Structure 1
Amino acid sequence: MNMPLNTSADTTNLVEQARFNMIEQQIRPWRLLDEDVLDLLTQVRREEFAPAPYRSMAFMDIEIPLNASVEEAERTGQVMLPPRVEARMLQDAKVMPTDRVLEIGTGSGYMAALLGRSAAQVLSIEINAELVDFAKDNLREAGITNVEVRMGDGSRDLSADGPFDVIILSGSVAEVPQGLLPLLTEGGRLIAVVGQEPMMRATIVTRKGSGFETTQPWDIIIPRLVNFAEPSPFKF
């Protein structure tokens, strides 16, 4: 007896079921309450931003390597973050359609795509030349035209490109980069994961006049962004 072959419709149904499960079982329970963000996760096709060898893992609650070598990806921190982490950061950023956004750490371009669908304009900085090209290709295929991906070092002076309504760091840092805070507009938000293993906290810094208000609503450990300052290992 011949078994029926899978059709393209069957494959599409499986993918959409996996996307639904990702949203309902991983993301929504992680205090993801913004329906606009949840809708966006159905519109921007995460699997199309994953490297081809890892597309079957796109909806899993894991970090996906962006290098040919898993070991290299772990060493450099060049990964797609778990879906629930990116979704929660996007929710906390409270991006408005008129906002200008800076992202540091483009990776595959998936977060930049989410931001592009939410904001007026996005500048995304990536230090790895191969990932710059990969992200540009992914964004072009997704039809997203309001995101500029630029090769650069996000730890360097970006004052010429400011100001920004939202700044998102798609990787962890030891401390809030003080050089980025003056780039925020009034009411602007910086979202970063700050700290050292085994304790890192999502940190939201909001500009209020001449000062800044900081909250740390949740804990997560994610790979480092390169070249940002680390605390000295020496103690006196």
Structure 2
Amino acid sequence: MSDNGEGPDDGEDMRNAAERQAEADREATAALILRLRSQGIRNTRLLSAIERVPRRLFLSAAMQRHSGEDTALPIECGQTISQPSLVVRMTDALDIGPAHKVLEVGTGSGFQAAILGLMAGEVHSIERYRTLVDLARERLASLRITSVRVHHGDGLEGLSEHAPYDRIIVTAAGPEIPKVLLDQLAEGGKLIMPRGPKGSVQELVLVEKQGGRVSEKVLAEVRFVPLVEGTASRL
């Protein structure tokens, strides 16, 4: 008998459970890829990134059984992780290249940051909740995604020390696109953000900057948590 009270088959049971979970992850990801292709997503680099990032790893244990569902789910600090199809749509609209520098406002679980990190050369993600910052860093490290730096700070201020950015993605809604983020967007850059009032239907807006001027296009109606000023004092 082992000193820790474990039976001889415990190690094998743990290996079998891990294998079953890995197989479930593969099946859920394959089903998601099929859904995305049926919705017209043809970006092979993006689909490859989705395939390499198990959504389950970005959820609490209680929510992991829902990881394969194409729906928003609750995460820590009263926030949410967006449905995979919306993550893909926002990322696809930015047309991210391997040399691009990207700013993400609202790290959340870190799932979107992981996708960005596999597509861009450099990603800076900013989050107001310290708890989410720490969790995202741990999850990104476990996937060995080294191109992403997660910062604790006020997303409404952007991250001027690393500007300008070729692409900016804002994962929370505000009544208007913050001027400071437009100022940090590089010439020829693109920014995507949900715009509209809290608790109501919002517009997913894609902004492009050319010749110092910005143009915008509304892509869809969405619902996001609100963009909040400052950093959280307790979480």
Could you say which TM-score interval applies, normalised by the shorter chain?
A: 0.7 to 0.9
Letter in 2 for 1:175: E
CA distance in 2, matches of 1:43, 1:157: 28
1:201 Cα offset (Å): 1.5
CA distance in 1, matches of 2:126, 2:20: 38
Q: Which residue is equivalent to 2:167? A: 166
Q: Which residue is equivalent to 1:231? A: none
CA distance in 2, matches of 1:122, 1:50: 21
1:36 Cα offset (Å): 1.9
CA distance in 1, matches of 2:101, 2:175: 25
Q: Which residue is equivalent to 1:218? A: 220
Structure 1 SS opposite 2:225: coil
Q: Which residue is equivalent to 2:139? A: 138
Query: Structure 1 length as normaliser, TM-score?
Result: 0.84
CA distance in 2, matches of 1:157, 1:97: 22
Change (3 A) 1:138 1:210: same
For the pair 1:84 / 2:79, whether they are aligned, the reply is no
Q: Which residue is equivalent to 1:233? A: none
Q: Which residue is equivalent to 2:54? A: 45
CA distance in 2, matches of 1:176, 1:50: 29
CA distance in 2, matches of 1:178, 1:95: 22
1:157 Cα offset (Å): 5.5
CA distance in 1, matches of 2:28, 2:143: 20
Q: Which residue is equivalent to 2:6? A: none
For the pair 1:101 / 2:93, whether they are aligned, the reply is no
Q: Which residue is equivalent to 2:41? A: 32
For structure 1, which runs of at least 5 residues remain unmatched after alignment?
Answer: 229-236
1:18 Cα offset (Å): 1.6
1:167 Cα offset (Å): 0.5
Letter in 1 for 2:60: P
Counterpart contact for 2:194–2:203, Cα < 8 Å: yes
Counterpart contact for 2:166–2:189, Cα < 8 Å: yes
Counterpart contact for 2:168–2:191, Cα < 8 Å: yes
Listed one character per residue, the Cα deviations across residues 170-209 of structure 1 (whole Å, up to 9, x for unaligned) are 1212211122111111111111011135431111111101
Letter in 2 for 1:125: I
CA distance in 2, matches of 1:139, 1:210: 35
Listed one character per residue, the Cα deviations across residues 112-152 of structure 1 (whole Å, up to 9, x for unaligned) are 11111111111100100111100000000010111110100
1:37 Cα offset (Å): 1.1
Counterpart contact for 2:157–2:181, Cα < 8 Å: no
Identity %: 30
What number of residue pairs does the alignment pair up? 215
Q: Which residue is equivalent to 1:13? A: 23
Q: Which residue is equivalent to 1:176? A: 177
Q: Which residue is equivalent to 1:110? A: 111
Q: Which residue is equivalent to 1:189? A: 190
> After superposition, where does 1:120-139 map in structure 2 within 5 Å?
120-139=121-140
Counterpart contact for 2:172–2:226, Cα < 8 Å: yes
